[in-house]
């Protein structure tokens, strides 16, 4: 425990003063420099000043502002920035709340009676128990006296419970209230602790996603804040969540320590914290036992079929788990060499535990990525992916990742019925899987079921709001469904978040093709091509657009220089479409079809709108099951 004395407060004051110009200097930065957790800092400040940490920091800034008003002729706007506030309006608001008079009025009245210091209402202090017992911390939800309870758990899968809160009384709650982001856990730097942090984050996230009434932000979006200096409220605002869970891991020889904090973003307040220590050799057994005890306390539970998964590690073998975590790190890089290396790691994990379902699923994911990134033959990729996911499902009939991959293979092979039922199984197993929601939306778009596609891509964007891939696909769904306001909203968000992403400009270019704004389409598609010149589909789209704008020589030059190989049939058909040449466009689509393939989204793509109603085009749609498909739920 840290001493709560004047020296500690003086050190805190020095840190605040040193960084007073830095408006982004946060409580997390202070904790890092002082070597204490947010809750420890909260108690230190509370005991010495009777203020919350954020209120104390604000007050320190305002006192500096007051001093500058007294000793300088700086303008109020200048002073607001000199003390790290974002605007003069913010400075005026806080100054008036603190001293009962605006900065301008105070300057006018200087030399008169000193300002009376206001009193502060006492904030709720969340106590940290010294023993490893799960506590429920009540806090007032509204004036009618309803209460929320934060169900708390500890360590890895048990930690997942920290994100679950239960509203008593009405028994109802909105998704925005029940939403959480699990930030990457930090470590003390040694390799064992780094790997432990990855495992803790992974297991917490995986367990939380089994809870049906909780929105859990994708790890992809949360990962972007690994080294962020942003405050918790800023992070929560960008991810659209009410709560943020984070923590640290320490691995010293034979012992491990994990510290967690759950923060209510709207108040920037720690509502729960826990520190747990144990033997590294017993970590999996301890986790499972504690998880079973904690799960009993929940009123918000997973479905009966998923109850076991919510409190169970994926393996009982620590060595296998270690190999698995290393494999997942390699898998995330998506380069050929590291994808192959990840397969080796997953094989080692499987050799140590032949019942390790998640290792088989991740191995399948590596094979799927190798094919989609053109590192290996696509058909071989599908066969190896299918082989590994079936092994995974035999070991765990509720493995959402495995079902999602299997459904994606079925989709890419135009096996719509199998893909549809398998996607639905995957989402029953884990409704919070952003990737599966997105993949399902792509299949529904290909089938022309655009309203349904929007439903799932909207869900994917909510779960993974910082993914350029998902937002770009969602924009295309909105555009093809002729949802003008939704399309505009998606494009506006993309301009703020992804203005350096070729995927974003690719999707906006296709939107402009959809509405036949060819100059805008050419602008955005050219931008996308500049950002990623290696994408052949972008080059074909640019040439198509030039053809629509009357630049016929450019289209003919492209066709004359492009080798007539099966890999290029789609691009040749696209450019003939730009030239409004139905016969040649259909000829190359039929060449593709004879090989068992068609362009993605052929039924709804703006490139082929001009073929709608043509008998040969309808025959192609019929051949690939794209006519009158009935969606079974």
What is the percent of the chain where pLDDT is above 70?
Answer: 80
Whether 174 and 248 map to the same domain: the answer is yes
Whether 104 and 141 map to the same domain: the answer is no
**Whats the size of the chain, residue-wise?**
633
Residues forming beta bridges with residue 257, ordered by sequence position: 250, 277
Whether 81 and 212 map to the same domain: the answer is no
Residues forming beta bridges with residue 252, ordered by sequence position: 255
Q: How far apart are CA 1 and CA 269, in angstroms?
A: 20
pLDDT at 167 over 50: no
Instruction: Identify whether the C-beta of residue 200 lies closer than 8 Å to the C-beta of residue 156.
Output: yes
Q: What are phi and psi of 597, to 5 degrees?
A: -135, 155
End-to-end CA distance of the chain: 55
Section 207-217 average pLDDT: 76
87, part of any domain: yes
3-state DSSP call for residue 543? helix
Q: Quick one: the chain helix, strand, coil %, rounded to 5?
A: 60, 10, 30
Q: How confident is the model at residue 87 (pLDDT cuts 50, 70, 90)?
A: low
Q: How confident is the model at residue 300 (pLDDT cuts 50, 70, 90)?
A: very low
pLDDT of residue 462: 93
User: CB-hemisphere CA count at 13 Å for 46?
Assistant: 15
Whether 97 and 181 map to the same domain: the answer is no
pLDDT of residue 189: 67
Section 103-111 average pLDDT: 78
User: Per mean pLDDT, which range of 204-208, 297-301, 407-411, 626-630 is the poorest?
Assistant: 297-301
pLDDT of residue 633: 59
pLDDT at 351 over 70: yes
Whether 102 and 143 map to the same domain: the answer is no
pLDDT at 247 over 90: no
Section 287-306 average pLDDT: 44
Tell me the residue ranges of DSSP E strands in 478-518: none
Q: What is the pLDDT of residues 312-345, one digit of tens each?
A: 678 888 889 889 989 998 998 778 999 999 999 9
Q: How far apart are CA 208 and CA 163, in angstroms?
A: 7
Whether 557 and 625 map to the same domain: the answer is yes
pLDDT at 114 over 60: no
Section 502-517 average pLDDT: 97
Section 567-592 average pLDDT: 97
pLDDT at 541 over 90: yes
In angstroms, what CA-CA distances link 332 with 220, 339, 366, 407, 502?
A: 10, 8, 9, 21, 20
Q: Last residue of some domain: 301, 336, 352?
A: 301
Q: How confident is the model at residue 579 (pLDDT cuts 50, 70, 90)?
A: very high
User: CB-hemisphere CA count at 13 Å for 559?
Assistant: 20
578, part of any domain: yes
**Nearest of 594, 631, 590, 592 to residue 611 by alpha carbon:** 590
| Average pLDDT along the chain | 81
In angstroms, what CA-CA distances link 68 with 62, 76, 77, 85?
A: 10, 9, 12, 14
Torsion of CA 276, 282, 285, 287, to 10 degrees: 20
Q: How far apart are CA 627 and CA 633, in angstroms?
A: 18
pLDDT of residue 22: 65
Alpha helix (H) ranges present in 297-356?
Answer: 318-331, 336-352
In angstroms, what CA-CA distances link 4 with 32, 41, 49, 380?
A: 17, 9, 10, 64
Between strands 147-151 and 164-167, the pairing is antiparallel
pLDDT of residue 346: 96
Q: How far apart are CA 235 and CA 217, in angstroms?
A: 12
CA angle 560, 564, 565 (to 5 degrees): 150
Whether 146 and 292 map to the same domain: the answer is yes
User: H-helix or E-strand containing 242?
Assistant: none
pLDDT at 1 over 70: no
**Nearest of 561, 612, 616, 557 to residue 584 by alpha carbon:** 616
423, part of any domain: no
pLDDT of residue 125: 28
pLDDT of residue 151: 30
Within a 10 A sphere around the Cβ of 380, how many other Cβ atoms?
12
376, part of any domain: no
pLDDT at 379 over 70: yes
41, part of any domain: yes
Q: Last residue of some domain: 279, 301, 323?
A: 301
Contacts (Cβ under 8 Å, ≥6 apart) of 27? 38, 41, 53, 54, 57, 231, 232, 268
Q: How far apart are CA 43 and CA 23, in angstroms?
A: 23
Instruction: Identify whether the C-beta of residue 83 lies closer than 8 Å to the C-beta of residue 16.
Output: no
Q: What are phi and psi of 552, to 5 degrees?
A: -65, -40
Whether 152 and 291 map to the same domain: the answer is yes
527, part of any domain: no
Whether 88 and 152 map to the same domain: the answer is no
Structure tokens at 557: 């030059």
Distance of CA 76 to the CA centre of its chain: 40
pLDDT of residue 306: 52
Whether 142 and 288 map to the same domain: the answer is yes
CATH number at residue 98: 1.10.10.60
Contacts (Cβ under 8 Å, ≥6 apart) of 351? none
pLDDT at 630 over 50: yes
pLDDT at 134 over 50: no
pLDDT at 118 over 60: no
Residues forming beta bridges with residue 179, ordered by sequence position: 215
Contacts (Cβ under 8 Å, ≥6 apart) of 384? 364, 367
241, part of any domain: yes
3-state DSSP call for residue 510? helix
415, part of any domain: no
CA angle 175, 181, 187 (to 5 degrees): 165
Whether 32 and 174 map to the same domain: the answer is no
pLDDT of residue 569: 97
Whether 245 and 177 map to the same domain: the answer is yes
Domain hosting residue 15, numbered range: 6-108
Tell me the residue ranges of DSSP E strands in 173-264: 179-182, 186-187, 215-216, 243-252, 255-264
Q: What is the pLDDT of residues 2-25, one digit of tens each?
A: 344 567 788 888 888 888 776 666
**Nearest of 119, 213, 125, 206 to residue 165 by alpha carbon:** 213
569-578 and 582-594 helices, crossing angle to 10°: 160
Instruction: Identify whether the C-beta of residue 360 lies closer than 8 Å to the C-beta of residue 353.
Output: no
What is the percent of the chain where pLDDT is above 90?
Answer: 45
pLDDT of residue 614: 96
Distance of CA 369 to the CA centre of its chain: 19
**For the chain, what is the domain count?**
3
Higher pLDDT, 198 or 283: 198
CATH number at residue 210: 3.40.50.10610
Q: Last residue of some domain: 278, 301, 324?
A: 301
pLDDT of residue 75: 76
Distance of CA 612 to the CA centre of its chain: 38
What's the per-residue H, E or C state across 198-213?
HHHHHHHHHHHCCCCC
């Amino acid at each position: 425990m840290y001493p709560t004395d004047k020296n500690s407060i003086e050190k805190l004051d020095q840190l605040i003063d040193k960084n007073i110009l830095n408006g982004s200097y946060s409580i997390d930065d202070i904790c890092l420099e002082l070597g204490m957790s947010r809750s420890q800092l909260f108690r230190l400040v509370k005991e010495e000043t009777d203020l919350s940490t954020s209120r104390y920091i604000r007050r320190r800034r305002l006192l500096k502002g007051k001093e500058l008003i007294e000793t300088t002729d700086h303008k109020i706007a200048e002073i607001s920035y000199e003390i790290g506030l974002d605007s003069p309006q913010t400075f005026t608001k806080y100054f008036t709340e603190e001293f009962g008079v605006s900065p301008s009025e105070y300057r006018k009245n200087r030399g008169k009676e000193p300002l009376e210091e206001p009193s502060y209402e006492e904030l709720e202090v969340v106590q940290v128990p010294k023993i490893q017992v799960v506590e429920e911390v009540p806090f007032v939800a509204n004036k009618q006296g309803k209460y929320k309870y934060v169900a708390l758990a500890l360590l890895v899968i048990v930690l997942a419970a920290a994100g679950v809160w239960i509203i008593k009384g009405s028994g109802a709650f909105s998704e925005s209230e029940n939403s959480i982001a699990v930030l990457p856990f930090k470590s003390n730097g040694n390799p064992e602790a780094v790997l432990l942090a990855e495992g803790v984050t992974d297991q917490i996230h995986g367990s939380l996603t089994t809870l049906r009434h909780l929105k859990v932000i994708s790890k992809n979006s949360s990962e972007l804040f690994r080294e962020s200096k942003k405050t918790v409220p800023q992070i929560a605002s960008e991810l659209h969540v009410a709560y943020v869970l984070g923590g640290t891991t320490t691995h010293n020889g034979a012992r491990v320590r994990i510290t967690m904090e759950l923060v209510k973003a709207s108040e920037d307040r720690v509502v729960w914290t826990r520190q747990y220590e144990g033997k590294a050799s017993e970590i999996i057994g301890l986790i499972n036992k504690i998880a079973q005890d904690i799960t009993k306390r929940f009123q918000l539970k997973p479905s009966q079929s998923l109850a076991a998964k919510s409190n169970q590690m994926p393996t009982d073998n620590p060595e296998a788990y270690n190999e698995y975590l290393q494999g997942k790190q390699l898998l995330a890089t998506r380069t050929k060499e590291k994808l192959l290396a990840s397969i080796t790691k997953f094989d080692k994990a499987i050799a140590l535990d032949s019942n390790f379902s998640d290792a088989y699923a991740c191995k399948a994911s590596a094979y799927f990525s190798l094919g989609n990134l053109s590192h290996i033959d696509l058909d071989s990729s599908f066969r190896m992916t299918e082989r590994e996911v079936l092994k995974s499902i035999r070991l765990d009939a509720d493995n959402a990742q495995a079902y999602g991959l299997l459904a994606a293979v079925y989709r890419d092979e135009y096996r719509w019925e199998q893909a549809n039922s398998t996607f639905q199984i995957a989402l029953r197993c884990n409704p919070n899987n952003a990737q599966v929601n997105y993949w399902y939306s792509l299949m529904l778009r290909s089938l022309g079921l655009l309203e349904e596609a929007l439903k799932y891509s909207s869900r994917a964007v909510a779960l993974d709001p910082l993914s350029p891939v998902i937002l770009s696909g969602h924009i295309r769904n909105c555009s093809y469904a002729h949802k003008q306001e939704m399309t505009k909203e998606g494009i506006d968000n993309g301009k703020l978040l992804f203005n350096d992403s070729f995927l974003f400009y690719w999707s906006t270019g296709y939107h402009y093709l959809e509405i036949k704004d060819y100059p805008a389409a050419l602008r955005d598609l050219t931008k996308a091509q500049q950002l990623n010149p290696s994408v052949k589909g972008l080059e074909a789209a640019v040439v198509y657009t030039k053809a629509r704008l009357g630049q016929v020589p450019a289209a003919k030059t492209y066709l004359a220089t492009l080798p007539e190989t099966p890999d290029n049939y789609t691009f040749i058909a696209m450019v003939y479409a730009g030239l409004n040449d139905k016969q040649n466009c259909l000829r190359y689509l039929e060449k593709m079809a004879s090989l068992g393939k068609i362009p993605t989204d052929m039924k709804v793509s703006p490139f082929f709108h001009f073929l709608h109603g043509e008998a040969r085009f309808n025959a192609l749609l019929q051949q690939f099951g794209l006519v009158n498909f009935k969606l079974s739920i």
